[in-house]
Amino acid sequence: MAKRKADASELRLVRKPDIGKRVMFDRATFMALDLYARDSMRSFQELADEAFADLLAKHNRPTDLKDALRQSARTMGANDNPQKPASRAPGKPAPRKRK
């Protein structure tokens, strides 16, 4: 019996949800991060998670599905026209502001 190839969608469901990337730091930056992690009793991963979440928030990018859905919900539909404030009669001057 021939083996069938697994398509990419099946592989994504089987793999772990965590993705690893290598990041290069100069020695001074790494030492400062390591010292801060020890002082705050947090792991390097926790520091990285917080830093990337802050970066995404700074640029108004969603960090999870819930945030993405919240941002995608529009307050006004594409075909909805906003209501304009009541206009005054033509030829009638605008009321003066009191001081």
* Model confidence at 13: pLDDT above 80: no
DSSP state of 44: H
* CA end-to-end distance (rounded Å), the chain: 91
pLDDT greater at residue 84 or residue 56: 56
C-alpha 26/C-alpha 17 separation (Å) is 29
- What token pair was written down for 38? 């020890």
* Model confidence at 90: pLDDT above 90: no
pTM exceeding 0.75: no
C-alpha 45/C-alpha 33 separation (Å) is 11
3-state secondary structure 15-34: CCCCCCCCCCCCHHHHHHHH
Which residue ranges make up each domain of the chain? 43-72
When pLDDT is averaged across residues 12-39 and rounded to a whole number, the result is: 85
